[in-house]
Structure 1
Amino acid sequence: MSATQHFTFDLAGALAQQLLARLPNLTPEPLMPAHLATVEDMPGVYQLYRSGRMVYVGKADASLKERLFDHHKKLSGRENLSLAEMTYTGLYLEGTWIPIGPEQILIKHLEAEPIWNTNGFGGNDTGQYRDATNYKKGHFDVEFPANLNIVLQAIRPGISTVKDLILVAKRELPYTFRFEDKYARHPDYNSSTVDIPAGSPLTADELFTLVAHALPAGWQIVALPGYVVMYKNYPTPYKNARRVYHRPIG
């Protein structure tokens, strides 16, 4: 027998076994504010389920509560999807485990990789240079596009500048609304006004129509699969445009 031997500890494998062993003990809860309010502000790994099927595994480096609320907001603004279908489970982890990617370790050891981990669900807004991306069938934003019929409760009747309206819309919309000049300082925003009619609250679609008609020629608002952009670049085409709003010609 040798006095020395090689020993390799399978840290990732051990962590995966412990994580997988805990999953059956977790009871999924609705992805709703009343339930999310009880989640702690701690790092963790979590699972999202749609109609009982695990569709996404992710991690929260700082706050599990904040990350789940982010997903709630995103999913609340999508077509072909109901929040009533969505549930979640989660495990709190000490911060030292987060850098080794516990969600990737867990995914690797599942029988099948959750579908939303490979279809673009977890992506953030990547900026204007990606607006021309040609999304493939099966991409999350194609399957569940941004809902243009979202009602904007914070938009009030009366005359408002385009600047005020787009800032309110950006805060309220549950998906990205990106426009030229990050802080809405373009002079056309202040010089253009919209008279919001009294009555029922406007939908995002109705607001985009009013704003596009109020701005000078050259502006367009484009609804892409997962978000909306507004730039002074008409008639620049977008491959994946679902709807284009602009001032009537003539």
Structure 2
Amino acid sequence: MPTANHHAEFKLSITRALADQLAAALRTLTPSPLTADALDRLPKGPGVYQLHVDGAPVYVGKASKSLPARLRKHHRKLSGRPIAGAVSFVCLYLDEDLEASAPEKMLLGKYEGKYERAGDDQARKLPWNNNGFGNNDPGRRRDGSEVEANHFDALYPVSLDLTIDWLSPGRRPTGEVLAELKKALPYNLRFEKDSVRAREDYKTITDVPSHPMTVRAALQLVVAALPEGWQATALPGYLIVYYENTSYKSAQCWWRRSGTGVVETSGPRLFAPATEIAEESSDEDEDN
């Protein structure tokens, strides 16, 4: 005779319930192209969002202060990368109490199978989560490190053939040209600032033409204007300009003065083994 159970253990998973509701709410939304016009129409406020490429989800994230500002940061970054496919987004606005409970981690756990899944709802990895997509400039000490083979920057390196038509023309101090490039490029440009040599050498004149040019051509102009010994380097995820003679392991290429010309040298493009890359938390998402 079967034994009747008169007791059982009940476990309430608030996290799972919230993850289920967040995922269900996102599924009801129609993805919008990730464009400046679409982002301009979004109201400010904290929340979670999901990025898609050609309709497939690739990343979930959180904006602590302003969804449009956080999404603009992604839009700007992606505009300088060779992304093959149409990028779109959906987002949910959340109240402050729920926003503080790491809703993006709940959603990521939902996708990756951390919680029980129903029917044919298969667990899957979102490729841009945990591959460095949302991370910022790692800093000077990391410039010489090998970038992981699965890092977003290794998969989608900054485009050097991006055309720029906004650089102010004329004979201008090189430091001023570098500052304008840094402000307007869709990826980071870091250059030596604090040395006496830099302050003096940046007074040299760069003759900026009035016609559009590529980022590659702009860097060649800058290096040509600086005294011999300066080097511009295109790393996978950003650009640097320093007084040095350094071969960077993961570099795309670098430029150095040689006599009266500038020589471009292809980099080794060596990468470290693939690994899971920790996502940095960022609160740099508030509109100016």
TM-score if structure 2 supplies the norm length?
A: 0.78
Count, aligned residues = 242
Q: Give the 3-state SS of the residue equivalent to 1:57 in structure 2.
A: strand
Task: Tell whether 2:203 aligns with 1:187.
Answer: no
Could you say which residue in structure 1 is the equivalent of 2:246? 236
Identity of aligned residues (%): 39
Residue in structure 1 matching 2:238, options 202, 223, 227: 227
CA distance in 2, matches of 1:133, 1:190: 28
Quick one: which amino acid aligns to residue 212 of structure 1? Answer: V
Q: Give the 3-state SS of the residue equivalent to 1:186 in structure 2.
A: helix
Alpha-carbon RMSD: 2.2
CA distance in 2, matches of 1:125, 1:160: 27
1:34–1:197 distance in 2 versus 1, CA, 3 Å: closer
Quote the offset at 1:113 in angstroms: 2.4
CA-to-partner distance for each residue in 1:117-141, whole Å, 9 max, x for gaps? Answer: 0221111112111111212323211
CA distance in 2, matches of 1:53, 1:246: 42
Query: Contact conserved, 1:150 with 1:203, CA < 8 A, in 2?
Result: yes
Could you say which residue in structure 1 is the equivalent of 2:46? 43
Quick one: which amino acid aligns to residue 197 of structure 1? Answer: P
Query: Contact conserved, 1:217 with 1:247, CA < 8 A, in 2?
Result: yes
**Which ranges of structure 2 fall in alignment gaps of 5 or more residues?**
1-8, 112-122, 261-288
**Which ranges of structure 1 fall in alignment gaps of 5 or more residues?**
1-5
Could you say which residue in structure 2 is the equivalent of 1:22? 25
Q: Give the 3-state SS of the residue equivalent to 1:106 in structure 2.
A: helix
1:181–1:36 distance in 2 versus 1, CA, 3 Å: same
Does 144-153 or 41-50 show the bigger shift?
144-153
Query: Contact conserved, 2:193 with 2:199, CA < 8 A, in 1?
Result: no
Query: Contact conserved, 1:213 with 1:248, CA < 8 A, in 2?
Result: no
CA distance in 1, matches of 2:214, 2:165: 9
Query: Contact conserved, 1:176 with 1:228, CA < 8 A, in 2?
Result: yes
CA distance in 2, matches of 1:185, 1:21: 58
Quick one: which amino acid aligns to residue 163 of structure 1? Answer: G
TM-score if structure 1 supplies the norm length?
A: 0.90
Quick one: which amino acid aligns to residue 48 of structure 1? Answer: L
Could you say which residue in structure 2 is the equivalent of 1:3? none
Could you say which residue in structure 2 is the equivalent of 1:104? 105
Quote the offset at 1:189 in angstroms: 4.2
Quote the offset at 1:91 in angstroms: 0.6
CA-to-partner distance for each residue in 1:1-59, whole Å, 9 max, x for gaps? Answer: xxxxx986422112112112212211100000111112121100000000011000000
Task: Tell whether 2:258 aligns with 1:248.
Answer: yes
CA distance in 1, matches of 2:170, 2:18: 58
Greater relative CO, 1 or 2 (CA 8 Å, sep 6+): 2
Q: Give the 3-state SS of the residue equivalent to 2:100 in structure 1.
A: helix
Quote the offset at 1:184 in angstroms: 11
Residue in structure 2 matching 1:119, options 99, 115, 131: 131
Query: Contact conserved, 1:146 with 1:226, CA < 8 A, in 2?
Result: yes
